[in-house]
């Protein structure tokens, strides 16, 4: 419940000549009863003073309005910092502290096998990344309506020609809704020679692999684990990209990877 009460106050104000000029000011006071739930609980009053005259307007919040001795404010006084502490502890537990296998939760999520990502080939045959297990896979998620994807595709085709072998497979996975009807004409247009057509019109890969933008390319180990990710178009036929992939094939090292993007 709240109550407004009005009174008069005479405030001294200096005029331009330095003399005091007394003006009448309306004082409005509003009281809020915050805690009426228990007969035995203390009553907390929130007081607000508003002074209004023809030249000024001011609001004065009484200090007792937020005094921790009131039952309601005392609860809030303790609950807010405790809640913040609990939230910080939760975040630390999820993203920082190691799990029993010694990995953080973030690392554990990245260590999930992607071998079960399912799609079809150009003939409509169902397949998945498990078909390439035992080889390193470079999974490129793209679409014909994505201009940067179209721009990088010829270079990705040349990369497959350059480093493709029984050790690595470049998988260009289209998420076009119309499937092969959209991809085949585009591949013919740019004269793709080494890339096979793989289709995921249901966009299942977006959720499973955590893809949020196109193009996205994942370097996947022989065990089906993501070890590196490029977000955005890449100049795949630059010499240092092919050399970095070769070094990974030889040593498993990823420190040499840099994600140069198309300007």
- Asked if 51 and 166 sit in the same domain, the reply is no
- Asked if 137 and 232 sit in the same domain, the reply is yes
Euclidean distance between the first and the last CA atom of the chain, given in angstroms as a whole number: 63
Q: What is the pLDDT of residue 217?
A: 97
Q: What is the pLDDT of residue 79?
A: 73
What are the C-alpha distances in Å from 151 to residues 145, 156, 180, 234?
A: 11, 10, 19, 9
Residues linked to residue 4 through DSSP beta bridges, in sequence order: 30
Q: What is the pLDDT of residue 112?
A: 73
- Asked if 139 and 216 sit in the same domain, the reply is yes
Question: Using CA atoms, how far apart are residues 100 and 186, in angstroms rounded to an integer?
Answer: 48
Q: What is the pLDDT of residue 25?
A: 47
Q: What is the pLDDT of residue 163?
A: 87
Per-residue buried b or exposed e for 9-27, using 16+ beta carbons within 10 Å of the residue's own CB: eeeeeeeeeeeeeeeebee
Q: Which structural domain range is residue 41 located in?
A: 2-66
Q: Is residue 258 part of a domain?
A: no
Q: What is the pLDDT of residue 78?
A: 72
- Asked if 61 and 91 sit in the same domain, the reply is no
10-residue mean pLDDT series, the chain (263 residues): 48 45 47 45 42 44 49 68 75 50 43 86 96 94 97 95 88 97 97 96 95 96 93 91 91 75 43
Q: By C-alpha distance, which of 210, 145, 144 is closest to 172? A: 144
pTM of the model: 0.59
Q: By C-alpha distance, which of 117, 133, 140 is closest to 167? A: 133
- Asked if 6 and 34 sit in the same domain, the reply is yes
Domain total of the chain: 3
Helix (H) or strand (E) holding 163: helix 147-163
- Asked if 93 and 32 sit in the same domain, the reply is no
């Amino acid at each position: 419940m709240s109550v407004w009460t009005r009174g008069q106050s005479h405030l001294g104000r200096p005029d331009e000549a330095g003399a005091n000029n007394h003006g009448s000011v309306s004082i409005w006071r509003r009281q809020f009863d915050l805690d009426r739930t228990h007969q035995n609980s203390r009553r907390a009053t929130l007081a607000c003073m508003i002074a209004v005259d023809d030249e000024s307007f001011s609001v004065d919040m009484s200090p007792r309005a937020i005094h921790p001795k009131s039952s309601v404010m005392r609860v809030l006084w303790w609950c807010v910092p405790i809640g913040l502490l609990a939230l910080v502890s939760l975040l630390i537990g999820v993203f920082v502290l190691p799990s029993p296998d010694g990995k953080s939760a973030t690392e554990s999520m990245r260590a999930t096998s992607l071998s079960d990502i399912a799609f079809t080939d150009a003939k409509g045959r169902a397949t998945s990344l498990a078909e390439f297990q035992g080889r390193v896979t470079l999974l490129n998620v793209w679409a014909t309506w994505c201009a940067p994807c179209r721009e990088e595709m010829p270079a990705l085709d040349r990369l497959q020609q350059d480093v493709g072998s029984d050790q690595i497979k470049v998988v260009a996975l289209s998420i076009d809704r119309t499937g092969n009807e959209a991809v085949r004409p585009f591949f013919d247009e740019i004269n793709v020679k080494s890339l096979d057509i793989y289709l995921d019109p249901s966009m299942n890969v977006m959720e499973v692999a955590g893809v949020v933008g196109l193009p996205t390319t994942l370097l996947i180990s022989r065990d089906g684990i993501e070890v590196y990710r490029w977000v955005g178009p890449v100049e795949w036929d630059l010499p240092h990209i092919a050399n970095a992939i070769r070094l990974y094939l030889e040593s498993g090292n990823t420190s040499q990877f840099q994600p140069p993007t198309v300007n």
